[in-house]
Structure 1
Amino acid sequence: MASSGMQLLGFFLSLLGVSATVAATFMVEWKRQAQGKTHRIYEGLWMSCSGNERTTCELYESLLKLPTEVQATRAVMLLSVFLSAVALMVSTVGMKCTRFMDDKSESKSTTAMIGGIMFMVSGLVTVVITSWYVDTIVKTFHTSNKLQSFEFGRAVFVSWAGGVLTMAGGAFLSCRRCSRSRLPASMNSNQLLPTVNSKSNYV
């Protein structure tokens, strides 16, 4: 029961992390710039928005004209979402609360571990690319005119949170310590049999 509970906790943490990663991927506020007290400019991985109280958004027309950090971050975030989608399917097959591979308990446990490792890789990729994106914005901010440069927005924090949650969930899913706890119990029960038989000989 403890192992099943740990797997469920890991699965839901990973699912929450993947949801945050998908949301961050399509959020527009990866970069933000304030012009005056009311005018705001936001740039995401897919579109840019600007305006005062009402903002108008436009999709990027050409991929090749985008900055390098936007192209790289977009590609890696999509890769992370793809890995997480595959990890969701793999871990669902390997979890003890599902009926897949019930006749192969060892293979089922290994499948859940593989899904957890894939989640950890996906979360790590998200955290790394987001940190690199932020580092690029900070370097540009310090080397250019600060009044005209961008700062990182809320999508960065959502992406970081999604990556950390996905890694944490994957760590719970890939833990096999609880699944092995049954082996000593079975060995102890086998060891008790000879002692019982030996005592019965004296009666």
Structure 2
Amino acid sequence: MASSGLQLLGFFLSLVGLAATVGATLLVEWKKQYQGKTHRIFEGLWMSCSGNERTTCEYHQYLLKLPREVQATRAVMLISVFLSTVALMVSTVGMKCTRFMDGKPESKSITAMIGGIMFMVSGILTIIITSWYVKVIVDINQESSQLQSFEFGNAVFVSWAGGLLTVAGGAFLGCRTCSQSQTTGSMISNNHLLPPKEGPRSNYV
């Protein structure tokens, strides 16, 4: 049951990581700027918001006119969400607690491992693109002569957390060594329970 517990833990972590990644993709606060004490400007991957106590938001109209960091981050985050969604379905088939492929334990273990690897790739993509986005914002601020420059917002931290949780969950799901050791141990114990085979009886006393 140890490997089943690890798989459930990995599945739960990956699910939370996927939810955090989706949330970060939709959040508007990827970068922020404060003008004075009350006026705020937020920019996300899909829209920008500005205002004082009451903010107004509008969607980005032209994709090609967006900054390169927004275009690249939006594309990679969507790829990451898609990959995690596919990994979620693959992992469900390969987990020990499901009824799929019960007669093929080896194929079931490989399927769970593939789902875990896909989760890890998805999380690594999220971490890389978020770190690159932060680096671009920092570089722009260093080169800018404006007194009030943009800072990265809360969506960046949510994205980092989602990527780390997805990688951790994928690592637990892909722990095929634990699954193999449990399978081998159960086979050995079953062999001990089987009665020994009797040889051919001799007619001589």
Q: How does 1:109-188 map to 2 (within 5 A)?
A: 109-181=109-181, 182-184=183-185, 186-187=187-188
TM-score by length of 2: 0.90
**Residue by residue, what CA displacement relative to the aligned partner does 1:75-104 show, whole Å, maximum 9, x if unpaired?**
000000000000000000000111011111
Aligned to 1:42: 42
Aligned to 1:19: 19
**Residue by residue, what CA displacement relative to the aligned partner does 1:111-146 show, whole Å, maximum 9, x if unpaired?**
000000000000000000000000000000111024
**Residue by residue, what CA displacement relative to the aligned partner does 1:27-66 show, whole Å, maximum 9, x if unpaired?**
0000100000110000000000001111000001100100
Distance between the aligned counterparts of 2:174 and 2:111, measured in 1? 9
- Is 1:62 the counterpart of 2:57 in the alignment? no
Distance between the aligned counterparts of 1:188 and 1:80, measured in 2? 42
What is the aligned length?
Answer: 197
Distance between the aligned counterparts of 1:104 and 1:193, measured in 2? 22
Distance between the aligned counterparts of 1:60 and 1:54, measured in 2? 20
Secondary structure of residue in 2 paired with 1:102: coil
Letter in 1 for 2:60: Y
Aligned to 2:8: 8
Letter in 2 for 1:128: I
Distance between the aligned counterparts of 2:132 and 2:157, measured in 1? 13
Letter in 1 for 2:63: L
Distance between the aligned counterparts of 1:55 and 1:163, measured in 2? 30
Secondary structure of residue in 1 paired with 2:29: coil
In the superposition, relative to structure 1, how do residues 103 and 149 fare at CA in structure 2: closer, same or farther (>3 Å)?
Answer: same
Unpaired runs of 5+ residues, structure 2, are 199-205
Distance between the aligned counterparts of 2:4 and 2:94, measured in 1? 11
TM-score by length of 1: 0.91
Letter in 2 for 1:100: F
Aligned to 1:31: 31
Secondary structure of residue in 2 paired with 1:42: strand
TM superposition shift of 1:147? 2.1
What CA RMSD, in Å, does the superposition of the two structures yield over aligned residues?
A: 2.0
Letter in 2 for 1:134: V
TM superposition shift of 1:148? 3.7
TM superposition shift of 1:176? 1.3
